[in-house]
Every structure is written in structure tokens, then in C-alpha cells.
Structure 1
């Protein structure tokens, strides 16, 4: 007798657009819930055991939204609810930075992150003609780094310092944090 297979979860249909200043309150709530605090523990991407701050403030998010060489992208579901966001920043003619990636922690592990990453890659190619993405992940986040590697990113030997001086209303819970740099060629 063959073993029964589990049906796969339905794919959430997402709509994407660039964020505006009017989106700041909803984006702040999403980003903070995905990265920090108790609510972030509902997902698997929490940094709550590493950093106890608010991740970003309204002024920082406003600057990212207004960056002429960048975009904050948001994804909403069929009901118009904010499901995820990310930031893209053109570094040069060939490379863009991918960051500020947040998926509603209650909806993680359901394919939303893969869709957002794929959309961001297409956006960077279409808007700027870049051939690669770069990102940074806190070095202790091996499970998260592995997720990106499965999606074509390559771990480099490069690192970047953790911005201890730029924390928003909080503190780091460790003094050995830094970022691992990952890159992906876009085809």
C-alpha cells in the first residue's frame, strides 16, 4: 500500500507595488513583528534572541521609500492585507542590495517569501538591468542563510559590521554580531 501524501498548502496570490509614505505605519508593524519581539517568534526568521530593538523607525523607512536609487516593495494578498515587504537598492550598474525582507510571521513557511524574492529579482533586472543581488544576514542565522543558498545565493567570505550604534529604541543582546554577505547572479 502506498503512503498517503500530504496535500501542499495553497499558494497565496500576491499583488506587488512600491511602497509610499502612507504605507509606513503598516510596514513598521510588519517589519517589527517579523524581526523583533514576542510576535516574531510565531515565525522562523526571528532575531528576538539577538537584538531587542524596533529594527527601523518611521524616519528610516521614509528615507528608504524616498531613496532615488531604491524601492521598498510590498506584497498584499487577495484580501488586500499586507503579507510581506522588501527593500532593493541599486549599488551600481551591475548589482543591487536586497534587504528589509519581512513576511508576516503567522504566514511564514507558506511560499510567500519565495514569491517576494522572485518578484524582487525580476524588478531589479527590469528596472535597473542589474545582473546580481547582494544581501547581508547576521552570521548566527544558519537556517536563514541556508534558505537563501537554496534559492541561488552564494555565501561569500566577506563580512560587514553589525550597526550597534544605529539600533532603534533598544540594544543588542550579544556583542559578537556581524553580517555574512551573500550574492546571487540573476539570469
Structure 2
């Protein structure tokens, strides 16, 4: 009953709805994030902290609605079959304790749990890299079932779906370079474990 109520409250911002629909149908999702952790990986307390610090301020009802909607997207992590998900997150993002220390620790522990799922591959881009293919900013690549790969770019509450095949191909090539420049999955987990131990 509670789950049904939560689903009834799911309402994404208008500029995000097309992406949210495609994400539900995806068989593969690839994230490059230079300023945050992918929404699919965020804990409830981190999500709430992010929306509560938003400027201009969001009213309480909107905050609650956005939290519920983002959490509802995470259902795809446990559906069967789950999509294959890869993510590269900047090291500096993992060092920034948004929402205070205990919220940050909980978030890092959540990343460790998710990175051990068979369908999730998480990598960290070290801050000290002298070569970085992702300097153009964050983006997502997703492949809906039976359809061509698409790109998605979001900034300042506006978004753009990249449906042009050549542009999507270039984004995919860029993502391949980013993954090659990032730490391996094992190195990434070791780094996150070290960060948790130091909190």
C-alpha cells in the first residue's frame, strides 16, 4: 500500500520526463559524472540534502516529490533482468561531504554495495590525472531495448536527448576513453573503502 502511494507521487520535472521513460526501458546505461553521484546510486538522505540545498529554494512538497521520484527510478537496479550499468565518478565528488559526514559515509557505503552487484561497474576518475577525455562535462549514454544508443546531457535544469547517431557515437567513444583513464573497478573500490575508513 505504501509503495503504491509512493508510485502515485512520482512526478518528474517536465524537462526530465523523456529521459526517465527511456531509462526505464534501457538494457544498458553508462554515466559519466563530474559534479555528483548518479541519481540511481544516491541514498535517500543524500537526495533530500541535495534538494534542500537547491537555490532558489524548493518548497517542502516539491522536495518530497523529487525525493520520491528519484528513489522510484532506483527500482531498475533490482528488476529482472536488470540493465547493465557502468559509471565513472570524479574522485573529488566522493571527497565532498554533502549533507554532513554521516550522510556522506552512508553514501560511500551504498556505492560499495552497489558496485558489488553483477550488473554494476563503478570506476573513479582520479583528480591527479593529466589527461582527461571528459572535460566537456557530464553525460549519460543509454540503450533502450531494441533501439539505438542515445545520449543525454543535463545542466541547470535543462536537458537534451542526443538522438543523432553520429553524435551518440562520438559520446560513446569519449566514454570509452574516460573509462580507460579512470581507475580500474578494483582500484576504485579500494579507494572508496579507504575514504570510508578515514571518515
How does the TM-score come out when normalised to structure 1? 0.29
How does the TM-score come out when normalised to structure 2? 0.28
Q: Using CA pairs under 8 Å that are at least 6 residues apart, name the structure with larger relative contact order, 1 or 2.
A: 2
User: Which structure has the highest strand share of the two?
Assistant: 1
